[in-house]
Structure 1
């Protein structure tokens, strides 16, 4: 785990020292600059992280290139790579309790949420360890005397950039398949939540992965992230985060025509028909938007309710939401934690004010929460607007906070029109007792991740990604491994003789 070497300028307490890892060595930034890492539940400094530079990013890129070309990782038999991945999974489980507490301190999420993330992270490494030992490739019976086959190979040097809402899990979703496929990596976690991503790299080092295969560079997106996306020695960039940043990544990558995989924003519809199990629908609607304080790309932030139960739903949803226990993540009673930073809290609060100005009806919440156990934390009350319309910005734009926009619809056709009425297409759900109707509506949703009578569960075995401006490519499942592989056609001539095409 990370060492404590520096004292906080705020409270004088020892805090974590978060370094970079380049070519098998732990390093400070080349100019010795650091960034404060803040506990969002208290507003206090909990770590100092190295603030990487372009020079640091380039050093990591060249180390990854050298390691890839040497074959120290890519040439290993799949069984040997798998053995490393199993070791990493075991070490995550061994350190899960401490890492969950650090995740809560760094991100703010309730401890029970962080605990689930630790288990999922270990399982993801095991999933890809198992997958790469299975048969793959294809052979084709073509015209004699040829034999054709297709094999999968690592892409090369992969730049991996992850967000702050699931610091460890999003790191694992990229690192596990990238390593499984035989690539080397340059990894940049969010500068807001660097602690557990760094602990993950320490675990990878402890597992014995050769130097240069995995490189960690902290720092700002416009500096380190842009260098990773644009550098010619990066063969692929995989990014999870906001759609606006995803567009910048694509532009930065364009000059070198590298492969780009993007998992971006969402404004996902949760469609509730009048014939649904009412209590189940309300419960999942709450979970869909307030789990993770709404800081989830697939959050059910647009709740579409059929007109026959609209008023009843609003009444019950309001009653339930007002009972949500908001507080520090380490408090066992907490059900919803703070937002990740002061800047992000202010952004969410500005959207709430915008909703009021747009004429939406504020049902509850809408304010920053303070109190004895909340201190200087970045807490925003669970919030919901009713009587929203498709044209409103709070309906069209990703708020990424605990803010629900509730809309009324009449019948399947209008539900589908409203559901598909944004630039996003990440997720969506349908609640109904009519199985045929559920399938009709789900098939019409322009979204990559969908549920029927459920919301949020995801699995390592199933692909994760969206349509439209919610991204390109998929994480997890077999598709997640394929994102980090090249496909090569090999044609074998089994009758070696001249073609006779030219007479002389």
Structure 2
């Protein structure tokens, strides 16, 4: 039986740009066998040694930032003005995880008692499978890869077919940094059957998945017949509430950036906006002014701010959400913008769209759009805003925008989301836990809690020998 051939299609041109071979069942068996064997030696290396290798790898990664950024722009379409920032941010995040690893992985002592010593040790779980998405591949990968390695686990990576070279680059970087053979491996796959096979492999002791809700549920089902932890970072329908006391122009700049950066292709991008009715019209005008200054086009042009969305299917889904809203009474309030009026003919370009007169009967206010759409809905009170923000199957992030930060905190306490912001959005600080509620996932990344899924606890009870 011939191996699966995986083709990467340029979101900018619609043309094939890369091909990779999939793996056979025997290939997967060899990968997991090597990971299990390598784990026996890697798990007993010192944390200091592991830290040293990771730090060397980060320096090598930094030295290749521009080349990696160009590769990322070509494969997933984010403008070249912004892709170097992902590499730099991933490195900073990893450096923070290295810094806190001693505290995060330290023993927990029991109560002191003469003649006894009791403590709880955090030990690595074993081979870890990391399946990760294309939209922020370096950031997403760093979230799991660094704590997994620092905790003493071996790692198997499965990238998105859209960004296949990420794992190849990372494997080279860590090999040059001195990571022993077999500690970090990867494979390419597009077939659900291949992924199910390795998820069900009993030698894989943890599965970390970042992607769609449908993909996460498929991975969870595949793992259901055995006892294994599955960490899921899934989608969002993240709301923003702009109160009537804000500086309207400032809020408009922030909301637009939070909604359409990376063409809106972020699990934590703003996907629905609730505006105090008293400032609705002024806010819409301010958003129009901001959008008028954006440039949609070739992502290799340094002046471009909005590139294509990832695929033809994604473009069609976004357009369906927009059309559904228009059919149900919403209106497009887009400003005049030459690049919006004449988007590139080739590729998956979607014009950023400002929608007004929306409500919760519309798909664009309920389902994840994952595109450059800003639906704006009037509200008459804080209570109404909170109720609408919580009216969702998702709960990843939410934001409140107000001069009254105390009130913002009060409202944030009522929001059903794993991460809440006041006067900012889409900013996963590494020192704070990143976690989803409801259908946005389970498990934690970032902060010292981000190490928890990569270890299991072992209790030690030591008693002095009677004299």
TM-score, normalised via structure 2 length: 0.94
Separation in 1 of the partners of 2:171 and 2:341? 37
Residue 342 of structure 1 deviates from its aligned partner by 1.8
Instruction: Tell me which residue corresponds to 1:93.
Output: 62
Question: Residue 130 of structure 1: which of 95, 99, 102 is its match?
Answer: 99
Distance of aligned partners of 1:405 and 1:373 in 2 relative to their CA distance in 1, 3 Å threshold: closer
- Partners of 2:466 and 2:81 lie apart in 1 by 65
1:88, 1:122 within 8 Å by CA — same for their partners in 2? no
2:303 corresponds to 1:329: no
| 2:43 matched residue in structure 1 | 74
Q: Aligned equivalents of 2:199 and 2:359: distance in 1?
A: 38
Unaligned runs of 5+ in 1: 1-29, 498-504
> By how many angstroms is 1:431 displaced?
0.6
Give the Å deviation of 1:297: 0.2
Question: Is 2:251 aligned against 1:281?
Answer: yes
Structure 2: distance between partners of 1:41 and 1:51: 24
* 8 A Cα contact 1:276 1:433, kept in partner: yes
Counterpart mapping for 1:104-123 below 5 A: 104-123=73-92
Q: Distance in 2 between matches of 1:406 and 1:226?
A: 40
1:483 is paired with a residue whose SS is: helix
Q: 1:250 aligns with which of 220, 245, 252?
A: 220
Deviation at 1:358, TM superposition (A): 3.0
Preserved CA contact (<8 Å) 2:248 2:282:
no
Does 2:420 correspond to 1:450? yes
Q: Which moved more, 1:487-496 or 1:401-410?
A: 487-496
Aligned counterpart for 1:476 among listed residues 423, 446, 455:
446
- Describe the shift of the 1:370–1:434 C-alpha distance in structure 2 as closer, same or farther (beyond 3 A): closer
**Superposed counterparts of 1:9-20, under 5 Å:** none
For 2:191 and 2:273, the matched residues in 1 are separated by 33
Alpha carbons 1:82, 1:133 under 8 Å: kept: no
> 2:59 aligned with 1:59, yes or no?
no
Determine the C-alpha separation between the residues in 2 that align with 1:200 and 1:297.
23
Looking at structure 2, the residues matched to 44 and 392 of structure 1 have their Cα atoms a distance apart, in angstroms, of 34
- The residue aligned with 1:84 is 53
Pair 221,153 (structure 1): closer, same or farther in 2 beyond 3 Å: farther
Q: Which runs of 4+ in 1 moved over 4 A?
A: 142-145, 369-373
Cα distance, 1:32 vs structure 2: 4.5
**In 2, Cα distance between equivalents of 1:372 and 1:392:** 27
Pairing 1:198–2:168 present: yes
* One of 262, 265, 270 as aligned partner of 2:235: 265
C-alpha change, 1:303 and 1:80, in structure 2 (3 Å) is same
Secondary structure of the residue aligned to 2:386 is helix
For 1:347, the equivalent position in structure 2 comes to 317
Aligned equivalents of 2:9, 2:138: Cα separation in 1: 17
1:34 Cα deviation from its structure 2 partner: 2.4
Please report how far the alpha carbon of residue 55 of structure 1 lies from its aligned counterpart in structure 2 after TM superposition.
3.5
- CA shift, 1:56, in A, is 2.8
Q: How far apart, CA to CA, are the structure 1 residues paired with 2:230 and 2:332?
A: 40
CA deviations 1:212-241 (Å, max 9, x no partner) are 111101111513322232221111101111
Matched, 1:225 2:188: no
Match 2:11 to one of 31, 40, 43:
40
Q: 1:378 and 1:294 mapped to 2: Cα distance?
A: 13
Q: How many residues align?
A: 463
When structure 1 is superposed on structure 2, of 417-426 and 377-386 the one drifting more is 377-386
- The correspondence for 1:432, drawn from 379, 393, 402, is 402
Give the TM-score normalised by structure 1.
0.87
1:152 pairs with 2:132: no
2:361 & 2:416 partners in 1: Cα distance?
A: 19
Query: What secondary structure does 2:431 align onto?
Result: coil
Task: Output the aligned Cα RMSD.
Answer: 2.0
Whole-angstrom CA distance in 1 between matches of 2:167 and 2:400: 35
The alpha-carbon deviation at position 338 of structure 1 amounts to: 0.6
1:124 and 1:323 map into 2 onto residues whose CA distance is 31
Residue of structure 2 equivalent to 1:185: 155
Write the distance in 2 (CA, Å) between the matches of 1:233 and 1:239: 17
- The answer to whether 1:419 aligns with 2:389 is yes
Alpha-carbon distance between aligned partners in 1 of 2:97 and 2:150, rounded to the nearest angstrom: 6
- Look up the match of 1:23: none
Q: CA deviation at 1:101?
A: 0.5
Q: CA deviation at 1:317?
A: 1.2
In structure 2, stretches of 5+ residues that fail to align are: none
Aligned equivalents of 1:370 and 1:385: distance in 2? Answer: 15
C-alpha distance 112-462 of structure 1, shift in aligned 2 (>3 A): farther
Alignment match of 2:143 (pick from 155, 169, 173): 173
Once residues 378 and 496 of structure 1 are traced to their aligned partners in structure 2, the CA distance between those partners, rounded to angstroms, is: 75
